[in-house]
Amino acid sequence: MMAVAGTAWLHDVDLQKEAADEANRQFLHHKIRKGKKTTRLSGVFNESRFRSRKSESSFPRAHPSIEMSAVPQRESFSSLKGSMISHRDSVIGWKYSGLTKTQPQLNTSVLLRYIQNRPHSLFARKARFFLLAIALCHTCLPEAKENGEIDFQAASPDELALVRAAQEMGYVMVDRQTGSIALKTFPAGPDADPKVDLYEVLDIIEFSSQRKRMSVIVRFPNNRICIICKGADSTMIQLLKQSELAIEKALEVERRVSKRKSKEVQEVLRRESDQLSRKNSLSRSSFSISRPSLSRPSLSGIRLRPIRDQLDSRIRDDGQGVADKSPVDGDGTYSRPSAQLGNRNSFAFGEAKGSPQGELGHDIVNDAVVVDEGAVFERCFQHVNDFATDGLRTLLYGYRYIDEQEYTNWKKIYVDATTSLVDRSAMIERAGEIIEKEFELAGATAVEDRLQRGVPEAIEKLRRANIKLWMLTGDKRETAINIGHSCRLIKDYSSITILDHESGEVEQNIAAAIVSINSGSVAHSVVVVDGQTLMHIEGDETVKSLFFDLVILVDSVICCRASPCQKASLVKAIRKKVKRSVTLAIGDGANDIAMIQEAHVGIGITGKEGLQAARTSDYSIAQFRFLLKLLLVHGRWNYIRTCKYTVGTFWKEMLFYLTQALFQRWAGYTGTSLYESWSLSMFNTLFTSLPVILLGIFEKDLASSTLLAVPELYTMGQRNGAFNFKIYLGWMFMAASEAMVVFFLMLGLFGRILFTQDNGLYAMGVLTYSAVVILVSAKLLLLEMHNKSIVSAIGIVISVGGWFLWNLTLSSLYKNNVIYNVKKGFLQRFGQSATWWLVLIVVISSCVTLELAVASIRGAYWATDADLFREYEKDVELRKRFEEAASTELQQGWGRDSKKSSADLIREGEVQELLDRPRAMEEGRTSGQILHRRHSSEQPSPKSGTAVPPGAGVDGNAGSRPSMDVHELLTKRFGSIKKV
C-alpha cells in the first residue's frame, strides 16, 4: 500500500499473479472414497493467501536473511501495459479495510493511468516524485540475470519490496555504482522508448535503531540537490516543515481512533453479554443454538430453515466479527471501519466491489485535498494508522531541496563525523540532525509482512476454541507487535499493556491492567513484555506474582527479545501456576527446543530452520495452519475415544460381574460361580476386548467439517464433558439396571421352568454369558459408535461368533464334567432348546429397548452440543454449510469419514430422481434404442452445460428441470448406482 497526496493506492501486481495461479483452487474439491471420481460443491470459497514466513518461535515468520528465490517473480513495467490499458478483471484481490462503503478500491494501475492521462496535474507531479523517492532512497544493488531481467540484492525485505514496487511502476534501477544510480523510466508511456537518467548519490546517512530513519542526498540531472528521507512516522512527523500542523492532525487521528476503539469495545462486550444471556436462557454451557423441539420429530427441511439461518449468522459473526455500520464520524471526517469487527478484507482475497477500474474518471483524486496541507496530513496519518492496525510496516517519506552552499557546509561536518575515531556513531547522528529537517511530506508506504497461509484464520479459530495463545519470539518489540496485528493475535480494539523496565513503572502498569480487566471494561487484552523486563520481573517475587496473575487474565501475551531459556521458564511457570492446565508449545527452530520439551505437548514445524525442533517434539507438522486439524479434529476425537474406552470398560465389567454377584443369593453366598471357569477367564481377553478397542480407535462423534466450522465444540474436553463423575454414575446405573434385567429374566423365564431338557447351572451361565457378550458388542459397536463402518460389523462377528465357537469347542472337547455339565451340553441339550434361544432374544431385546429409551429421554431433555450437531449433520443443507465454513482446512485433505459428504448425497438424490422419472416406452423399440435416440437428440444447455432434450423437461414439458446424462452418471458410479 502507498499513500500520496491524501489518497491510498494498492499495489497488487503480485496478488494478481497469485490469483491467476490459484484460479483452479477456488472450488472445494472432495476426495471421494476409492471407486468414485472427484466431485465439487457449487460455490466459490475464497481463501486467504499468505507467503511462507519463518519463525524463531511460536509463529512461522520470515528469516532475516533475504533469499531472492523466496520472492515471487515480479512483472516489469512493460507487463503493466495491459493493466494500464484495460483494467484488472480478476475476481480475487486484496482490499484495503480502511475504505468506507462509498470509497472505491484503487490500485497502482489506476494511478499510472491517471498520471499518463493528466501528466501536468499537481497530483501527478507529486505522485511521480514519490515514486522517484522510492526508487532512490535505499541501499539495494541491481543484478542482471541471463535472460535480461533485473533482480535486486537487499539488506532487508522491506527495501526489496519497495524497490521492486518502483520497478513494476516504471522506475527501474538498471545500474548502481559507488556514487550514482541509473534509473530507466517511461515518461511517455509504456509503448514509448524508455529514458535512462543518471542520479549522483552524494551521501547516504544509514538507518539506525536510535534514528529510526535513513536519508540519501542526491544530485538530480538538472543539477539540483535534494535530500530524501524515510523513517518511522513518529520520527518523521517531528522533522516536517509544518511539524506543528502535522502533530495537531496526528493527535486528531489518534483521538478519532481511540473513540472508534471504545465503540468497538462496547460492541464486543454487548455481543458477549447477548451470547451469555442466550446460554443462560437455554441452560447451556457452550455453543448455543436454538434447540429442536422436545418431542424430537424428524428434522424436516422447513423445520430446520431457521436453524440454518441462525447457524449461518453465528458462523459468519464468529469468523469475522461484528460489523461496524458507522465508518464515518458524525462530523463527516474520515474514520476507518474495523478490520476485525467488520468484514475484514485485509490480507484476504475477496471480490473487489465498487471498483472504478472499469472506467477511469478525473474525479478519482480530489484536487482540493491535494492543495490543502492540513487535509493531506490528516488523510496520510489516517492511512498510516490503518496500515499499522492491519499489521503492515509503515514508512513516511520526506524531501527537501538544498542549495550548494548549505550542502558544502554540512559535508565538512559529516566527513569529520565519519572519520572520527571517538564516538563516531553519535557524531554521525548529530550531523544527520543538522540537515534532516523541514521536510515536505512526499507520501507513505506500507509493506505487508505476510505470514504462512492460514495463520490468522487458524489463530482466530483456536481463540474461539477457548485456547489462549502466547507468542514468544526473539524479534524486537515493534516487529513482534506488527506480527501480532498480522496474525490477529492483536485486534483493532485490543487493550495493549507494554511492560518496559526502562520506564520504571512495571508494577504500576501491571496493577492498572489487572484492575481494568477485572472491571469488565476491556474486550480483548494483550500484554507485551521483553526479555530484559522479564529478567527484572523474575528478580522481584512481588512483581513476579502480579505478573503471572496478569498473564493468566489477559487473552494473549507477546514476549519479545526472549532467550530460549526464558521461553522454557515461562511455559514451566504457567504449568505450575495454573493447575490442571495443558500447555502446548510450537516452534520451528533450534532455539525453540527447550520450550517444546517443557510443555505438555510439543509440536515442531519443519522448515528452513532445520529439523531440530521437529525431531525433539511430540508431533511434527509442515505448517502452522495444520494445527487446527490436529487439535480441533483429531484432538477431540482422541479425547472422545479415550473417554468412551474408559467408561465402556467399567460398564462391561460392572454388567458382567454384577450378574455373578446377584447369583450368590440363590447359591447361598457359597462362592459358587455362575460361569464355567475357563469361560470366566476368557471374558476380557477373547470376547469383549475387541468392542472397546474398536470404539477407542475408530469412534468419530462428529464430522471433521463440523468440528472445524464450529471450534466451540472443542471446549467439551476443557469442561470434562465426556468423562466426569456424573457420566460415570450414569454408565454404572445402566450397567446395574441391565445386569438385573439380564439375570432376573434369565432366572424367571428359563431357570425355573420345568419343561426344558436342561436348565442347570451351566445352561443358565451360558445364557447369561451370551446375553452379556452380545449386549456389549451391540451397545459399544452399534449404539455408542457413531462412525459405523465394516469394522463395526467385523468386531461384532468376531466377538459374538467367537463366543459361540468357544461353546462348540467346549461342548466337544471338555473332559472335567464334575461341577458344570459341559460335555455335549450346547450341542445336544440346551443348545437345541427353542426356549433357551427365545429367552436369549427376549433378554437382549429388553436391554436394547432400555438403552434406546434412556438415550431418547436424555436426548430430548438433556441434549448435549454433540447430540444437536449430529442432528444437524443429517440435513444435507446444514452439512453443506459446515463444509463451506471449513473449506480452507478441508482442502488440506478430506477426512475419510464413513458419512457421505453433502456432494455425495446431492448427486445420489439427482440420480435417484432420474431413475424414478416415468418413461414413456415407444412401441416396437427396446430401451436401449430409446436411450440411444435420447442421447443423439439432446442439446447442450447454454446455462448448466447438461444435456437437455429439445422442448422437454422432467416430464416432457417445456420449462421443467433439464435431464442429466444417464450414461455419464452410471459411468461415474455415484452413490449406490453402479454400471451393470
Binding residues for ATP: 159, 207, 230
The x, y and z cell numbers of residue 450, run together, are: 505476510
CB 668 within 8 A of CB 752: no
DSSP state of 278: H
Q: What are phi and psi of 61, to 5 degrees?
A: -135, 175
The vertex-233 CA angle with 231 and 238, nearest 5°, equals 95
The torsion angle over the Cα atoms of residues 935, 941, 942 and 945, rounded to 10 degrees, is -80
| CA distance linking residue 602 with residue 782, whole number of Å | 36
* Helix (H) or strand (E) run with residue 441 in it: strand 440-448
Q: How far are the Cα atoms of 314, 400, 454, 907 from residue 27, in angstroms, in the given order? A: 23, 52, 17, 17
d(CA 313, CA 302): 18
Amino acid at 879: R
- Phi first, then psi, for residue 196 (nearest 5°) are -110, 120
Kind of pairing between the strands at 213-219 and 195-205: antiparallel
User: d(Cα 275, Cα 464) in Å, to the nearest integer?
Assistant: 13
Residues in the annotated binding site = 159, 207, 230
Q: Which three cell numbers stand for residue 492?
A: 483493532
DSSP 934-972: HHHH-EE-TTT-SEE-TT--TTS-TTSPPP--HHHHHHH
Query: Rounded to whole angstroms, how far apart are CA atoms 153 and 151?
Result: 7
The 601-605 sheet, strands edge to edge? 584-587, 601-605, 619-621
* Cβ atoms 390, 347 nearer than 8 A: yes
| Number of residues assigned to the chain | 980
d(CA 865, CA 715): 10
Cβ atoms of 634 and 623 closer than 8 Å:
no
Number of H helices and E strands in the chain, helices first, is: 36, 24
Nearest alpha carbon to residue 441 among 383, 379, 505, 396: 396
Neighbour-count burial for 686-697, b at 16+ CB within 10 Å, e otherwise: bbbebbbebbbe
Cell reading at 691: 468392542
Q: Which residues pair with 441 in a beta bridge?
A: 398
Q: Are strands 141-144 and 150-153 parallel, antiparallel or unpaired?
A: antiparallel
How far is it, in rounded angstroms, from Cα 205 to Cα 138?
Answer: 10
Contact 598, 578 (CB under 8 A): no
- Measure Cα distances from 405 to 221, 225, 229, 807, 965 in Å: 18, 11, 20, 112, 85
612 sits in which H/E element: helix 612-616
Angle 876-885/902-916 helices, nearest 10 degrees?
150
DSSP state of 185: E
485 burial type by CB count under 10 A (0-12 exposed, 13-18 middle, 19+ buried): buried
CB distance 660 to 670 below 8 Å: no
DSSP string over 802-843: HHHHHHHHHHHH----SSS--TTIIIIIGGG-HHHHHHHHHH
Apex 469 CA angle, 463 and 470, nearest 5: 160
DSSP state of 293: P
- Find out whether 454 and 48 touch, Cβ atoms under 8 Å: yes
